[in-house]
Amino acid sequence: MAKKTKSKALKITLVKSLIGSKKDQIATAESLGLNKIGDSTSQPDNAATQGKVAKIIHLVEVTNA
């Protein structure tokens, strides 16, 4: 029997405003479900999520969930 491994997740919180950000950065934040300061979301820790976070790293705080 194969062991089931826990899927790692990231908790992403928007800590800076999207005002004045580029359109693609705003779209990236919205695709993660972040619209207002203080919004948090839990996303799987995979390459796609890491790429999105890298795009807006100056606007978010990332922790392990």
Per the structure, the complete domain to which residue 35 belongs is given by 21-64
Please give the pLDDT value at position 65: 84
Residue 14 lies in a domain: no
pTM: 0.86
- For residue 25, the Cα-to-chain-centroid distance in whole angstroms is 12
Q: Cα–Cα distance between 53 and 2 in angstroms, integer?
A: 32
Please give the pLDDT value at position 5: 56
Number of domains in the chain: 1
pLDDT, one tens digit for every residue, the chain (65 residues): 555 556 699 999 999 999 999 999 999 999 999 999 999 999 999 999 999 999 999 999 999 98
Q: Cα–Cα distance between 48 and 51 in angstroms, integer?
A: 5
Please give the pLDDT value at position 20: 96
